[in-house]
Each structure stands twice: as C-alpha cells, then as structure tokens.
Amino acid sequence: MTTRLQILGTGCPKCRLLTEHTESAARELGLDYELEKVTELDRILDFGVVATPALVVDGEIRVFGHVPSTTRLKELLAGAGAPPA
C-alpha cells in the first residue's frame, strides 16, 4: 500500500527542510510513498492547519509548526503503509 505524504507550506526554507527530512525518513524505512507539496493557502487552510510547515500522512496531520529530525519522522512514519492490525 502506498503511503500518501503531503507537505503543507508556501515553499519557505523550513518547508523545504521538512520535505528533505520526510523523504529521507521514508526512504530509510523503505516506504512505498507518494509525496505532494501543497502550497496553495486555501488548500492548506482546508486542512485546519494554522502553522506551517505541516506534514499530513494518509490524511492525518502528524506535524505542524516545526521541523522534526529525520529520526523523529522515522518514528512517526514507522506504522505508515502497514496494513491495519
């Protein structure tokens, strides 16, 4: 199952860093993923996010307002893409 990752942000340096860290974490975990960068303010607001950058994993907001380390992102993504128990 492909994990859907969305980075919400306007393209600022923190948004780019979150994208880099997220892709690194997903690759290190061997996730089958699809990444979308959501830069349109209206779409970002539709998620209910008030601080960017943000990371949405399979429709669920997992991070917002800061850039976690790659290690922390690996922890957040570890269960993504796995079939439900």
Tokens representing 33 are: 């993923």
Q: Which of 5, 7, 15, 31 is catalytic?
A: 15
> Is 15 an annotated catalytic residue?
yes
What is the Cα–Cα distance from 47 to 24, expressed in whole angstroms?
Answer: 24
Marked catalytic residue, from 1, 12, 17, 35: 12
Tokens of 39: 């830069």
Contact 61, 48 (CB under 8 A): yes
Annotation marks residue 38 as catalytic: no
Residues that are catalytic: 12, 15
